């Protein structure tokens, strides 16, 4: 017999899990994989981004509680477990020059503090695969960058008995992946498909900014792994809409018709960063090299 496969997805804020890798998680959960979302911060400094909910001061007064409820509903929809790492949202600094980050926020914690917290979760959950962001964070939010830093550090430290010995029995996760959701090729494919079918595309300006190098983050991450999960795209969208304070139901996430998404780009994409098992690239499964090999 083999034990149940386990997948851990590490994200910066509540709602990130529903915009990056959500359909794959729902697919794996439905197949019997044990899926855990780790949310590093509470999203305390998030604004109300849904125009339909703006102008309601009670949301801002109790943003933490609203976002916790939203996260619980999104996890229910996806069929996954979720835990909070317990750090405080750093906010997205804006302006020129950028203002300093607020004291006590996630991005200013000494690296070992959130790394140890994540190591505890890794050693307790014992994931075979971990997903997170690349070194750019996907875009330059300080919490996304710090999420990458602690995920990479914890992936290594959890297997080292000399690191954080008080944080539980050591565990070596087999594979570490970075999300490659918002690749240039994917955006261009949707843009061209919409124009070809006479549908207005929301991506023209985005593509122009990409071509001019004005899109922050990394749109050219090498894709090694494409997980077919088109039948779970609607589940993904329902989970995303559960984050009602953060997601505009009329926004660009929902502009591409569902049938077109499933036809033009039926996968969620990843870049394999580290593997301790033999695998052949390209892959179509985050557990490639592990199925049938995980001992009970």
Binding site for Zn(2+): residue ranges?
13, 16, 144
DSSP string, 35-94: EEEEEEE--TT-----GGGTT-HHHHHTHHHHHHHHHHHHHHHHT-EEEEEEEPP-----
DSSP string, 214-228: -S-S-S-PPP-EEEE
Is the Cβ–Cβ distance between 69 and 15 less than 8 Å? no
- Taken in order 256, 262, 265, 269, is the CA torsion positive or negative? positive
Q: Which runs of consecutive H residues, i.e. helices, occur in the chain?
A: 16-19, 22-30, 57-61, 63-78, 112-125, 142-157, 184-196, 204-211, 233-242, 258-264
Give the DSSP H or E segment for 267: strand 267-275
Is the Cβ–Cβ distance between 79 and 17 less than 8 Å? no
User: Three-state SS for 239?
Assistant: helix
Distances (CA, A) of 132 to 23, 89, 172, 193, 230: 15, 17, 16, 29, 21
Binding-site residue ranges = 13, 16, 144
Q: At what angle do helices 22-30 and 63-78 cross, to 10 degrees?
A: 50
């Amino acid at each position: 017999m083999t034990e149940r496969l386990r997948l851990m997805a590490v994200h910066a804020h509540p709602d990130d899990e529903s915009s990056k890798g959500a359909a794959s998680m729902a697919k794996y959960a439905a197949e019997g994989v044990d899926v855990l979302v780790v949310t590093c911060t509470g999203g305390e400094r998030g604004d109300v981004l849904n125009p339909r909910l703006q102008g309601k001061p009670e949301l801002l007064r109790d943003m933490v509680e609203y976002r916790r409820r939203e996260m619980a509903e999104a996890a229910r929809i996806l069929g996954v477990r979720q835990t909070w790492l317990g750090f405080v949202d750093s906010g997205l600094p804006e302006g020129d020059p950028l203002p300093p980050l607020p004291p006590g926020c996630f991005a200013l914690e000494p690296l070992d503090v959130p790394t140890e917290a994540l190591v505890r979760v890794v050693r307790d959950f014992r994931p075979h695969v971990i997903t997170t962001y690349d070194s750019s964070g996907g875009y330059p939010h300080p919490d996304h960058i710090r999420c990458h830093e602690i995920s990479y550090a914890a992936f290594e430290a959890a297997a080292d008995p000399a690191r954080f010995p008080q944080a539980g029995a050591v565990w070596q996760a087999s594979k570490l992946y970075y999300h490659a959701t918002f690749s240039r090729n994917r955006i261009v494919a949707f843009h061209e498909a919409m124009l070809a079918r006479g549908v207005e595309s929301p991506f023209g300006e985005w593509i122009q900014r990409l071509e001019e190098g004005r899109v922050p983050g990394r749109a050219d991450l090498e894709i090694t792994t494409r997980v077919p999960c088109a039948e779970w795209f609607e589940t993904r969208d329902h989970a995303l809409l559960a984050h009602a304070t953060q997601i505009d139901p009329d926004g660009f996430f929902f502009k591409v018709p569902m049938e077109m998404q499933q036809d033009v780009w039926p996968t969620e994409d990843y870049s394999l960063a580290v593997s301790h098992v033999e695998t052949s690239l390209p892959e179509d499964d985050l557990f490639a090299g592990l199925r049938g090999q995980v001992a009970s």
